[in-house]
């Protein structure tokens, strides 16, 4: 083992948002101890942050019960590769990030090998699979949670001294400055007037923008993009622009609509409104102050199972945190081009619905803790 290395940390992320958050932790680790060696499974963001990748998330990101079953062979091969690499790397600690189906297996194996393992971003046990709570308490040394109500979920196990749970705040707070709601309204007016230099720089015309986020997985894109594109076609005085997901390519979006990669924050700033697939992007849009509609569509089997297991009234993170339906949710049979068209007309015509959403979004930050989530996770890993 290299004697000049202060710590050896292995990070495991399996999808785009986890890759982004793990990259923030990697940068915080390097800032705290420049000699930290970082290796793991992740995506482009982790690699750019100095993590030596053994597996890329493009080979492991599958969503839904049927999709996972179809790709079990590939998932098992990835598990074997990561386990062998952890043994070869001999880390001081493993940090698994989100992606619970895969990472709980990694954590169980780490326990067998007496390798300390922490986890960042709790599985959504408060929504379903509460039976996982004792297992999580048993597998991890420390759990870093990002939603204000999550620590209470594990309170009984913390009190028993089984493991530690720390609320570190939401990592998006470090990436998204608090929007000036008056400025957001001015930006919308400027977009409507065709005065955005950013639009010209991206090859867009002067019409106001409707942002389309059909998800980050191919299964989501194939189901949602046709519906969103059909709804967007009902607004000829606007231009529909797709936010390309990290790890995806232009060929993943079979449409003539423009697709912008690495421009999502700017798109959120300049768009008048958006349709966004349920997930982290909806919370990101809310923190940007962007009025939007939450959409989701999966296979009938996956939806039937999820509906039976779910124990929450909403799927949107902003709605869950606020405890009310601040953002419309259009799921499965309600996710139609006709419904989404009606919702968007309500949102962009007159302005009252959009202003109401912005008012709701202003309450989110106070509930999500302060900035510095990655630094708190890094400090825990280096203890």
Instruction: Give me the pLDDT at residue 183, please.
Output: 52
- Under DSSP, the state recorded for 126 is T
Q: Nearest to residue 352, comparing CAs of 191, 185, 196?
A: 185
Which CATH architecture describes the domain 8-170+369-382?
Answer: 3-Layer(aba) Sandwich (3.40)
Instruction: Give me the pLDDT at residue 75, please.
Output: 78
Whether the Cβ atoms of residue 320 and residue 301 lie closer than 8 Å to each other: no
CATH number of 177-367: 3.40.50.2000
Q: Nearest to residue 324, comparing CAs of 356, 372, 288?
A: 356
**pLDDT tens-digit map of 118-148:** 999 998 887 667 788 899 999 999 999 999 8
Instruction: Give me the pLDDT at residue 289, please.
Output: 95
Numbered ranges of CATH 3.40.50.2000 in the chain: 8-170+369-382, 177-367
Instruction: Give me the pLDDT at residue 1, please.
Output: 47
DSSP secondary structure string, 165-201?
Answer: EEE---THHHHSPPP-HHHHHHHHHHHHHT--HHHHH
Instruction: Give me the pLDDT at residue 217, please.
Output: 85
**Residue 313 binned pLDDT confidence (cut-offs 50, 70, 90):** low
3-state SS string over 234-266?
CCCCCEEEEEECCCCCHHHCCCCCCEEECCHHH
Beta bridge partners of 275: 212, 293
| Alpha-carbon separation of residue 322 from 182, 226, 276, 369 (angstroms) | 22, 31, 18, 14
Average pLDDT value for residue range 295-299: 85
Task: Please check the confidence at residue 111 and state whether its pLDDT lies above 60.
Answer: yes
Instruction: Give me the pLDDT at residue 112, please.
Output: 97
Average pLDDT value for residue range 95-123: 95
**Residue 73 binned pLDDT confidence (cut-offs 50, 70, 90):** low
Average pLDDT value for residue range 107-115: 97
Whether the Cβ atoms of residue 97 and residue 377 lie closer than 8 Å to each other: no
Instruction: Give me the pLDDT at residue 383, please.
Output: 86
Whether the Cβ atoms of residue 197 and residue 306 lie closer than 8 Å to each other: no
This prediction has a pTM of 0.77
Instruction: Give me the pLDDT at residue 106, please.
Output: 97
Average pLDDT value for residue range 189-200: 67
**Residue 323 binned pLDDT confidence (cut-offs 50, 70, 90):** confident
Separation CA 167–CA 148 (nearest Å): 7
Range name among 79-93, 163-177, 304-318 with the lowest pLDDT average: 304-318
Range name among 58-67, 114-123, 184-193 with the lowest pLDDT average: 184-193
Instruction: Give me the pLDDT at residue 2, please.
Output: 53
**pLDDT tens-digit map of 30-43:** 999 999 999 999 99
**pLDDT tens-digit map of 211-270:** 999 998 888 999 999 999 999 999 999 999 999 998 799 999 999 999 999 999 999 999
- CA 232 distance to own-chain centroid: 24
Specify the higher pLDDT residue, 16 or 167: 167
Q: Nearest to residue 136, comparing CAs of 104, 165, 168, 105?
A: 104
HSE-up (13 A, CA, CB side) for residue 25 = 36
Range name among 108-112, 186-190, 298-302, 331-335 with the lowest pLDDT average: 186-190
Separation CA 250–CA 268 (nearest Å): 20
**Residue 27 binned pLDDT confidence (cut-offs 50, 70, 90):** very high
């Amino acid at each position: 083992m290299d004697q000049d290395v202060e710590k050896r940390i292995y990070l495991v992320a399996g999808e785009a948002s986890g890759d982004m958050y793990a990259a923030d932790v990697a940068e915080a680790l390097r800032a705290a101890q420049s000699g930290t060696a970082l290796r793991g499974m992740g995506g482009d963001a982790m690699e750019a942050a100095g993590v030596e990748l053994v597996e890329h998330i493009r080979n492991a990101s599958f969503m839904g019960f049927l999709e996972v079953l179809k790709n079990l062979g590939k998932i098992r091969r990835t598990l074997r590769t990561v386990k062998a690499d952890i043994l070869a790397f001999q880390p001081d600690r493993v940090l698994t990030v989100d992606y619970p189906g895969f990472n709980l297996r990694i954590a169980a194996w780490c326990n067998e090998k007496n390798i300390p393992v922490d986890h960042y971003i709790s599985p959504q046990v408060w929504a379903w699979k509460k039976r996982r709570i004792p297992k999580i308490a048993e597998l991890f040394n420390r759990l870093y949670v990002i939603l204000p109500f999550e620590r209470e979920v594990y309170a009984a196990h913390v009190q028993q001294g089984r493991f530690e749970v720390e609320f570190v705040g939401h990592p998006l707070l470090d990436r998204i400055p608090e929007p000036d709601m008056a400025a957001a309204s001015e930006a919308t007016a400027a977009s409507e007037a065709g005065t955005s230099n950013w639009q010209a720089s991206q090859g867009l015309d002067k019409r106001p923008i409707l942002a389309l986020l059909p998800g980050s997985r191919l299964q989501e894109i194939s189901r949602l993009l046709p519906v969103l594109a059909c709804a967007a076609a009902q607004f000829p005085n606007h231009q529909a622009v797709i936010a390309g997901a990290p790890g995806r390519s232009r060929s993943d979006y079979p449409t003539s609509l423009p697709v912008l990669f690495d421009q999502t924050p700017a798109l959120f700033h300049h768009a008048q409104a958006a349709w966004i697939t349920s997930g982290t992007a909806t919370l990101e849009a809310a923190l940007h102050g962007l009025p939007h509609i939450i959409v989701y569509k999966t296979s009938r089997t996956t939806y039937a199972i999820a509906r039976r297991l779910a124990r929450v009234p909403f799927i949107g993170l902003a709605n869950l945190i606020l405890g009310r339906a601040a953002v419309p949710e259009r799921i499965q049979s309600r996710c139609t081009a006709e419904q989404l068209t009606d919702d968007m007309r309500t949102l962009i015509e007159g302005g009252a619905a959009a202003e109401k959403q912005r008012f709701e979004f202003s309450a989110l930050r106070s509930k999500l803790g302060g900035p510095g989530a990655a630094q708190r996770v890094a400090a825990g890993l280096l203890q």
